[in-house]
C-alpha cells in the first residue's frame, strides 16, 4: 500500500516542527516539509527517508507543482505578519494558489491554521477582526471567509490556536521557542507591577506539543466533514486548554518566583489609560479593542483529551516547567505566597 503524502508548510516553525516530529513517531506517512531555511530544522532528522524538503517561499508554489500533485493531506501552518502587503500575499493569495495545485482526486484533508483571535466565544467570526485587526488578523479573517466558499471547503478543518507556548526560555530545546515562551522572562520582570493590580480578563493557552497531538490525530484518521448546523462547510476547532484569568496567571507566576502577593487595585479603564501613558507601551487599534473586550474565552475547545489523548501542558505550571523557567527557592519568610 502506498504511503500517504502529508505536506506541512511552515515546517521550520515551533508548531511545524512539533507536528513533523509527532507524525514521524506516530505514523508511517511520507512528509513534505515546506520551509525557507532548512538550517532551522533542528528537531527533525533530515536523513530520514520519509522526509522530503521543499525549500522556498510560500509564494513560490509553482516551483513544486509535481510534489503538490501527490499530496493526500495538508497541514498549513505557514503565516506572515508585520508588512501588510506581504501578509496578504502569504496569508490569502498564496494559500489559494497552493490549493489550486493540489490533486482533487487524491486530496483527503486540509488542516488550515488560523488564530482564535478572529472568533467569538461561540466560534463565529468576529466582524471586529476586519475593523480593528492588525494586518495578520485581518488577512486570517479574510482567508477563512474565502475558504468557506472554496471547492475544498468540506475537506478543510480550520484550527484556531490560542496563546501558544513551546520551546524553552534559554533556547536549549531542540524545538524553536514560541513568542509566548520567549516572553516569559519579560513577564517575570513586570511582576513588581502586576501584583498590585487586578484584571478581570480570561484567556486560553495551548502548548505546541498538544497542538501536534491534535493535528497528528486528525491527519492520521479518516476525515469527517463538518456536521454542525449553521457553522459553514469548514469544521472549526479552537486549540486550547480551559481558560484561566490574568489574576490566576499572575498568582501562578508570583508563587513560581517566590514573590509575596499584595492587595490589588482593580484595573479600571482610566487606570489603564494612565499606565499606557506612563509606561513604555505602544498599542494599536486591536490592542484597544482587546482591552475593552477583556475576555477571550471560547465555549468549545479542543485539547488532546477531546480526541482521547493526554495533554502535555494542561496547566500554567506545566507550561513554566516545560519552558525551563527556574522555580525560585528564595521564598519570603513569614509571608503568604
pLDDT in tens, 178-210: 999 999 999 999 898 888 888 778 899 999 999
Q: Is the pLDDT of residue 337 over 50?
A: no
Distance CA 131, CA 137 (A): 10
**Residue 247 CA to its chain's centroid (Å):** 22
In DSSP notation, 277-294 reads HHTT----HHHHHHHHH-
Q: How far is CA 218 from CA 69, 166, 193, 221, 310, in A?
A: 21, 21, 42, 6, 15
Beta-bridge partner residues of 191: none
The pLDDT-based confidence of 281 (bands split at 50, 70, 90) is low
CATH number listed for the domain at residues 5-165+205-239: 3.40.50.720
- Tell me the β-bridge partners of 51: 31
pLDDT recorded at residue 264 = 84
Rg (CA), the chain: 21
The pLDDT of residue 251 is above 70: yes
Mean pLDDT in the chain? Answer: 90
What pLDDT is recorded for position 331?
37
Pick from 259, 144, 146: which is nearest to 196 by CA? Answer: 259
Is the entire prediction scored with pTM above 0.85? yes
Q: In which order are the strands placed within the sheet that holds 5-9?
A: 51-55, 30-35, 5-9, 73-76, 109-113, 156-161, 235-239
Segment 7-36, tens digit of pLDDT: 999 999 999 999 999 999 999 999 999 999
Give the whole-number percent of the chain exceeding pLDDT 90. Answer: 73
Confidence at residue 267, expressed as pLDDT on a 0 to 100 scale: 64
Which pLDDT value is given to residue 285?
A: 75
pLDDT band for position 82 (50/70/90)?
confident
Could you tell me the residue ranges of all domains in the chain? 5-165+205-239, 184-202+242-295+316-321
Amino acid at each position: 500500500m502506498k504511503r500517504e503524502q502529508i505536506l506541512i508548510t511552515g515546517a521550520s516553525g515551533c508548531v511545524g516542527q512539533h507536528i513533523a516530529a509527532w507524525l514521524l513517531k506516530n505514523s508511517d506517512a511520507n512528509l513534505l516539509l515546506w520551509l525557507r531555511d532548512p538550517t532551522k530544522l533542528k528537531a527533525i532528522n533530515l536523513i530520514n527517508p520519509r522526509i522530503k524538503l521543499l525549500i522556498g517561499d510560500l509564494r513560490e508554489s509553482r516551483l513544486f507543482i509535481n510534489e503538490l500533485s501527490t499530496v493526500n493531506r495538508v497541514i498549513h501552518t505557514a503565516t506572515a505578519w508585520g508588512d501588510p502587503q506581504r501578509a496578504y500575499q502569504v496569508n490569502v493569495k498564496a494559500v489559494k494558489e497552493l490549493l489550486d495545485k493540489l490533486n482533487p482526486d487524491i486530496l483527503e484533508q486540509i488542516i488550515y491554521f488560523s488564530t482564535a483571535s478572529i472568533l467569538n466565544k461561540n466560534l463565529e467570526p468576529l466582524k471586529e477582526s476586519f475593523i480593528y485587526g492588525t494586518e495578520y488578523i485581518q488577512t486570517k479573517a479574510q482567508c477563512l471567509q474565502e475558504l468557506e466558499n472554496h471547492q475544498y471547503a468540506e475537506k478543510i478543518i480550520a484550527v484556531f490556536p490560542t496563546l501558544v507556548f513551546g520551546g524553552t526560555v534559554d533556547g536549549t530545546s531542540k524545538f524553536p521557542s514560541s513568542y509566548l515562551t520567549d516572553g516569559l522572562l519579560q513577564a517575570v520582570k513586570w511582576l513588581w507591577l502586576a501584583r498590585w493590580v487586578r484584571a478581570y480578563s480570561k484567556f486560553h493557552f495551548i502548548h505546541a506539543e498538544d497542538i501536534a497531538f491534535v493535528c497528528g490525530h486528525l491527519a492520521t484518521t479518516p476525515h469527517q466533514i463538518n456536521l454542525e448546523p449553521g457553522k459553514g462547510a469548514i469544521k472549526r476547532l479552537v486549540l486550547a486548554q480551559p481558560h484561566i484569568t490574568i489574576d490566576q496567571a499572575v498568582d501562578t507566576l508570583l508563587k513560581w518566583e517566590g514573590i509575596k502577593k499584595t492587595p490589588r487595585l482593580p484595573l479600571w479603564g482610566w487606570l489603564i489609560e494612565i499606565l499606557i501613558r506612563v509606561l513604555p507601551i505602544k498599542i494599536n487599534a486591536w490592542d484597544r479593542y482587546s482591552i475593552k473586550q477583556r475576555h477571550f474565552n471560547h465555549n468549545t475547545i479542543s485539547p488532546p483529551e477531546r480526541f482521547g489523548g493526554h495533554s502535555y501542558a494542561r496547566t500554567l505550571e506545566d507550561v513554566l516547567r516545560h519552558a525551563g523557567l527556574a522555580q525560585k527557592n528564595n521564598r519570603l519568610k513569614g509571608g503568604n505566597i
